[in-house]
Structure 1
Amino acid sequence: MEENRWVATFCGSIPLDELYESMLRQNHMKKGLLLWVGIWLLALMLAAEISARDTAASLPHARVVWLQDIDDGKDVFARGDRLRLMGWDSLDGKGERPILQSHGPYRRPLMTSDGTAVVFSVGNAESVQVVGWRGGVPRTIGAGVAIDVWKDFRTGKQWVYVAQDPKPSDSVNERFGRIVRIAIDDPGVVELVWDRSIVGIENFQLSRDGKQASGTFPWPQVGIAQVAQQRFDGYGKGCWASLSPDNSAVLAFFDGMHRNWWMRSASHESPWKVNIALAPGIDGHEVYHPRWSNHPLYLVLTGPYRHQVGPNAILGGGRQVEVYLGKFSKDLTKVESWVRITHNEKGDFYPDAWIEHGERFDLDVTAIGAKGAQKSPIAEGLERRSIEATLMEMSGIPDPKDILPYRNALAVYRYALRSEDRDAFQHAEILVAHWVIRDGKKLSGYPRVPGRVYRMTIEDMALHPEWESERLIRDMDAWDLPLYVEVSE
Structure 2
Amino acid sequence: MNSDLTFLWEGGKKKRESNGRIFDFRPEGSARYGNRFELDPGHGRFVTKDLNLRHIIAEKKWTVEIVMIPSDTDGKIILLPFAELLQKRNTLTLKSKSLAGSSEVRFKINGHDDPLHLVISLTHSGIEVYQNGKLTKSKISVDKSPLSNELSGIVVGGNWFGRLYRLAVYSSHVDGKALYESVKSYLDSINQIVPNLKVRCQLKKKTRLPRMRDLGPYARCLVYNLYDVKQVLEGDLTADVIAVAHWAILDRNYVKAIPSQVDKEFDLIIEQYVLNPQLKSERQFNDISNFDAPLFYDVSVPDITELK
Q: Please report the TM-score for the alignment, with normalisation by the length of structure 1.
A: 0.22
Higher relative contact order (CA 8 A, sep 6+): 2
Q: As a proportion of its length, which structure holds more helix?
A: 1
Structure with higher Rg: it is: 1
